[in-house]
Amino acid sequence: MFLYTFMFWAFYAIMIALALYLCWKISVADMRRRIIPDAYLFPLMITGAILTTFFPWPMDISTAVVGMAFGYILAAVVGVIFDQILQRKNPKSESPIGMGDIKLIAVGGLFLGPTGLAIALAGTCLFGAIWAYRKKQKFIPFAPFFIAAGILSWLSIAFLI
């Protein structure tokens, strides 16, 4: 019995380590190239699906799927609104929210659920605003701040709420 319990939690630790590694790679890619590669994003989504299916702590799969849908719809609506506003001002302008950001928010909803996603998005805005103010830059890489706020949100959900 001990061996099965050990293997269960060892697999959980390996999956969490894989998710953290993929988050690191996504953050570095977004800081350097302003792109969130699907090569890291889709394995992160599969890792999140495995974790919420087989390890329903701190949330179960139904809450995770609702969080994923909520995140995708919310980010897509915000992206369309930004596109419409910027297209009126300058038809050649790039959208500040890319599809990688939208998919990352959806994956964040899978890991965090709707409540954790709301906390993470609020933390992302705060961290990003502080970084932009200190660096005096217009471009704010979304992924590093979202991942940092997401980790803090996951820890607060898992251990405080």
**How confident is the model at residue 27, as a pLDDT?**
97
For residues 64 and 53, what is the distance between their CA atoms, to the nearest angstrom?
9
Q: What is the mean pLDDT of residues 94-117?
A: 92
Residues 115-133 have pLDDT tens digits of 999 999 999 999 999 999 9
Is pLDDT above 90 for 83?
no
Predicted confidence band at 155 (pLDDT cuts at 50, 70, 90)? very high
Residues 9-53 have pLDDT tens digits of 999 999 999 999 999 999 999 999 999 999 999 999 999 999 999
Query: What is the average pLDDT value for the chain, to the nearest integer?
Result: 92
**How confident is the model at residue 42, as a pLDDT?**
97
For residues 80 and 62, what is the distance between their CA atoms, to the nearest angstrom?
27
Amino acid occupying residue 31: M
Is pLDDT above 90 for 138?
no
Which range has the top average pLDDT, 29-38, 88-97, 133-142? 29-38
Q: What is the 3-state secondary structure (H, E, C) of 51-116?
A: HHHHCCCCCCHHHHHHHHHHHHHHHHHHHHHHHHHHHHHCCCCCCCCCHHHHHHHHHHHHHHHHHH
Q: Taking the model in full, what pTM does it have?
A: 0.92
**How confident is the model at residue 118, as a pLDDT?**
95
